[in-house]
């Protein structure tokens, strides 16, 4: 635990504490009354209200559209199911900047809806809500569908034989069993949308602002660290509450149900109702998930002769100091370094947490590992610039600063992926190897590593995809001569002109292809029984 604790203390707790202290402390005195003053401001209260309202609306809309898909993946067997599972998961591993760009190409100025019917939604809240559904659809499908596939269908069949109607049997038998998973999925979607940044930054414009966007505006445009610090504390408190409820629901889901092999519960659709449900789910996937990505690709090809892609190889001396295509190689290099850091830190933390003799303090660290996913990435990025500016840790000019920030987000995914597998390793295998004279290092290399190699590769793939798309912290610390792909896309979208817009679509397409390729590798590596996030 020594290295993971030191890593999170140095590169997470310290930067966050530094920016909060900078905002609320003056001449050695704390000004906690500033919290009430900021929250009482009408514009800040409006931001708080919109952040909460849009998160609740996005969560409800996502559940409404994704729960039928969860049933289809859990109970129906049809050709192309594995491919469709990968298609559904692609938006989740895409950066939020790409999700915003895709919907901007669909509903924005000159988008598909504008061309066909003269309708624009980029200035309305509907664009944000639909983009959040696009991004979080897979969370509900994987979380709820993964459990649904393992519920014994004979319980519902027994209720039907006793005279219950299909709806009554589902409401009385299946729904109570699914309730913990639905609650867990809803809380995760709420967490992701409550801290939304890239989607709202691109689609919200000056009209709509979440806490995360307002923190960015206060730090980078208004330079009001006091207000940013207060908003960070408000978001931190909300995220802690959500994570506490999430942990409670996950524990209920893991301990309250008896599960069966998911490979025996899926059957071919029968009856008009199931075929209609399958068709409707395919239509939702096509319109809500595939269409925005297809429009994104199409907009990147509008210029004749791949003009937008060729323009990426030229430096214009304005938006970037280098050619935009340079961001592709920079992002790949940063993502590889961040993945290596995340695998080491997350792997060590998972190994410590998996020990049967782990103390309460070590087990409590498990919950703290999830905080980087919910705490403002903008705060972390700006905190890096404030905290890591003096020797021996003056890293402001070092390239390693970006991978460190990205690894903070990737490490929790590594822990969540490896921890169940490490806990499943039979301790007697380790004890037998030790009795035969193997050193602890050799026991890990000869016993643990072969058993967790697949999970380690999957964890590395998730960390790579997440690191590749990290935007909130990177936008502060990426150097002008080394922008990452999400930062480059956001900068191009912020500038007027068709060429800048087309280049943003081209870069988003490249980023989408790279993320999709990483996802396909994950789908090949994962087993049939590791279908949940």
**Can you give the pLDDT of all 533 residues of the chain as single tens digits?**
889 989 998 999 888 888 788 777 766 667 677 778 888 888 888 999 999 999 999 999 999 999 999 888 888 888 888 778 878 877 877 777 778 888 888 887 777 777 777 777 766 788 899 999 998 898 888 778 777 777 767 777 787 787 777 778 777 777 777 777 787 788 878 888 888 888 888 888 777 888 888 888 888 787 787 888 888 888 888 877 777 776 665 555 444 444 455 555 667 887 788 889 889 999 999 998 999 888 888 888 988 888 889 888 887 655 667 788 888 889 889 999 999 999 999 988 888 887 766 666 666 677 677 778 767 788 888 888 888 877 777 887 788 889 999 999 888 878 877 777 777 677 777 778 888 888 887 887 787 777 777 778 777 877 887 888 788 788 878 887 788 888 888 888 878 888 888 888 888 888 888 877 776 776 666 544 444 43
Report the alpha-carbon distance of residue 13 to residue 371 in Å, rounded. 10
For tokens 């004979």, the residue is: 154
Report the alpha-carbon distance of residue 291 to residue 112 in Å, rounded. 10
Nearest to 375 by CA among 195, 132, 139: 195
Within 8 A by CB and 6+ apart from 525, the residues are 454, 457, 458, 461
Q: What pTM was estimated for this model as a whole? A: 0.78
Pairing state between β 25-26 and 29-30: antiparallel
Report the alpha-carbon distance of residue 288 to residue 124 in Å, rounded. 17
DSSP one-letter string for 403-433? HHHHHHHHHHHHHHHHHHHHHHS-HHHHHHH
């Amino acid at each position: 635990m020594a290295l993971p604790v030191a890593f999170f203390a140095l590169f997470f707790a310290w930067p966050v504490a530094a920016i909060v202290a900078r905002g609320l402390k003056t001449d050695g005195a704390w000004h906690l009354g500033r919290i009430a003053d900021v929250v009482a401001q009408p514009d800040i209260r409006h931001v708080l209200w919109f952040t909460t309202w849009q998160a609740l609306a996005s969560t409800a809309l996502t559940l409404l559209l994704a729960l039928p898909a969860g049933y289809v993946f859990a109970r129906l067997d049809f050709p192309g199911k594995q491919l469709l599972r990968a298609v559904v998961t692609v938006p989740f591993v895409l950066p939020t900047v790409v999700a915003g760009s895709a919907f901007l190409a669909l509903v924005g100025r000159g988008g598909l809806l504008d061309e066909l019917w003269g309708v624009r939604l980029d200035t309305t809240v509907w664009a944000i809500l639909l983009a959040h559904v696009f991004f979080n659809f897979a969370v509900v499908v994987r979380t709820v569908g993964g459990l649904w596939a393992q519920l014994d269908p004979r319980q519902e069949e027994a209720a039907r034989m006793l005279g219950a109607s299909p709806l009554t049997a589902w409401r009385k038998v299946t729904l109570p069993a699914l309730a913990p998973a639905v609650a867990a999925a809803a809380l995760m979607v709420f967490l992701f949308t409550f801290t939304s940044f890239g989607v709202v930054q691109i689609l919200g414009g000056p009209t709509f602002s979440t806490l995360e966007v307002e923190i960015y505006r206060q730090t980078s445009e208004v330079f009001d660290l006091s207000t940013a610090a207060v908003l960070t504390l408000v978001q931190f408190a909300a995220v802690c509450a959500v994570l506490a409820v999430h942990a409670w629901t996950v524990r209920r889901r893991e301990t309250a149900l008896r599960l069966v092999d998911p490979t025996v519960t899926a059957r071919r659709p029968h009856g008009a109702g199931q075929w209609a449900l399958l068709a409707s789910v395919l239509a939702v996937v096509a319109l809500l998930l595939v269409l925005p990505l297809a429009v994104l690709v199409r907009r990147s090809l509008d210029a004749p002769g791949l003009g937008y892609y060729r323009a990426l190889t030229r430096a214009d001396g304005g938006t970037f100091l280098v050619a935009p295509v340079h961001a592709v190689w920079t992002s790949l290099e940063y993502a590889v370094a961040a993945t290596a850091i995340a695998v080491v830190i997350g792997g060590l933390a998972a190994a410590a947490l998996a020990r049967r003799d782990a103390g309460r303090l070590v087990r409590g660290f498990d919950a703290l590992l999830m905080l980087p996913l919910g705490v403002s990435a903008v705060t972390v990025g700006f905190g890096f610039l404030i905290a890591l500016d003096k020797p021996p840790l003056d890293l402001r000019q070092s390239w390693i600063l970006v991978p460190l920030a990205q690894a903070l987000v990737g490490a929790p995914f590594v822990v969540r992926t490896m921890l169940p597998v490490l806990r499943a390793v039979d301790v007697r295998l380790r004890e037998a190897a030790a009795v035969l004279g193997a050193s602890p290092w050799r026991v890990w290399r000869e016993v643990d590593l072969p058993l967790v190699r697949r999970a380690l590769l999957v964890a590395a793939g998730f960390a790579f995809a997440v690191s590749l798309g990290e935007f909130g912290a990177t936008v502060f610390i990426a150097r002008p001569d080394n922008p990452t792909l999400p930062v480059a896309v956001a900068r191009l979208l912020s500038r007027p002109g068709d060429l800048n817009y087309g280049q943003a679509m081209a870069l988003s397409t490249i980023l989408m292809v790279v993320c999709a390729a990483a996802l396909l590798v994950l789908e090949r590596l994962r087993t049939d029984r590791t279908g949940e996030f």
